[in-house]
Amino acid sequence: MDSSQLLPQNHGSVQELAKELKLDLVPQRYIQEHLEPTFVSNHSSLLPSIPIIDMNDFVGMLESDNGSLTKLRSVCQEWGIFQLVNHGVDKSLIKKMKEEVVGFFNLPVEEKLRYKLTAGEYQGYGQTILHAQDQKVDWADRFYMITNPLHRRKPHLLPEFPPVLRETMENYLLELQKLAMHLFGLTGSAVEIDKQEMMDVFDDGMQSVRMTYYPPCPEPDRVIGLTPHSDAAGITILLQVNDVEGLQVKKDGVWIPVNFLPDAFIVNVGDILEIMSNGVYNSIEHRATVNATKERISLAMFFNPKLEADVGPAKSLTTNTGEPPVYKTLIMEQYLKDFFSRKLNGKTFLERMKIKNGH
């Protein structure tokens, strides 16, 4: 049987397709013709590992003793991603959150389809939105939704979740919000952005969540779980839900696998924090590969400025350092509109925001 005939029965869910597929060929719409090899060589132990930031290093930190901030600055500058340990989020809450996310993807497909993405929407359960018949599709099912501000929540998504998943996610969101605000304070201070400016921009900001399910794939080297991109966010806090690796980051032109430390979060700088730092920080390019035999699940939380805030080089930074802004300034709400209506005209957000030749 031509494997593309499987598509109508699986409601567009890659998870369902993968169950039916067994050893059949992967449909062409998932096959990436020009994929940079996803394979990690036997010499991967020679590759650098992503740095570790220990939250305990900032406890009781004195203004005069800024060694930990200097380290944070150089990690965000050189890498734009780190493993965060001793982050203080309750282990039992994280365990529960992981179980609930696994439980969500194990629901019968009909249940998950209650949250299905509809045409023209970007929030809900389903695949990358198709804009062209021949568009390649990532080997993953996703669930993306805005969780803050509360009035931007879609009533048929989080409010309609199974009660335990909803409650666990609400608790998890609250904990991660606190952590994110702490991280914004620290990453801001490390580049001389006043703490108050970071709070004004990010407190009660726009927040969103993405749960992703990457099914096993019989041709893992010919598909991609998540297309290479940098995050449009301020910061992203990522939880690997089921201990299967797949995240890779591009550093100095080389894809480097991320080996998650137990109990750590992966934190990455997004485009907005790169812009606020006036280009000091690096919004790192990353992608997710898939596994031949194992499913992989992740949970990403994206923390952004409030909708009415200016997104641009932080004013206190340009004043404190005397550096001219290298990025333009835009209101967050406008940026979101452009981003989701795809008005970036083929450019990345960073390319669009860059000031060329001082203009």
Ligand X SMILES: O=C(O)CCC(=O)C(=O)O
Least separation in angstroms between residue 84's CB and ligand X is 15
Task: Return residues touching ligand X (CB under 6 A).
Answer: 210, 212, 226, 231, 238, 246-247, 286, 288, 298, 300
**The residue type at 327:** Y
**The residue type at 263:** D
Least separation in angstroms between residue 200's CB and ligand X is 26
One-character DSSP codes across 135-195: ----S-EEEEEEEESGGGS-TTSGGGS-HHHHHHHHHHHHHHHHHHHHHHHHHHHHTT--H
Beta-strand pair 226-229/235-240: unpaired
Least separation in angstroms between residue 142's CB and ligand X is 7
Between 69 and 223, whose beta carbon lies closer to ligand X? 223
Least separation in angstroms between residue 69's CB and ligand X is 26
Between 168 and 212, whose beta carbon lies closer to ligand X? 212
Between 40 and 355, whose beta carbon lies closer to ligand X? 40
Handedness of CA 272, 86, 49, 188 (dihedral sign): positive
Between 179 and 297, whose beta carbon lies closer to ligand X? 297
Question: Among all chains, which residue has been given the structure tokens 């598509």?
Answer: 7
Least separation in angstroms between residue 246's CB and ligand X is 6
Query: In angstroms, rounded to a whole number, what is the distance separating the alpha carbons of residues 341 and 136?
Result: 19
| DSSP bridge partners of 81 | 268
Helices and strands: H and E segment counts in the chain:
10, 14
Tell me the residue nearest to ligand X as measured from the CB.
298
Between 158 and 238, whose beta carbon lies closer to ligand X? 238
Between 100 and 231, whose beta carbon lies closer to ligand X? 231
Query: In angstroms, rounded to a whole number, what is the distance separating the alpha carbons of residues 116 and 124?
Result: 5
E strands along 79-140, which residues?
Answer: 81-85, 124-126
Least separation in angstroms between residue 214's CB and ligand X is 7
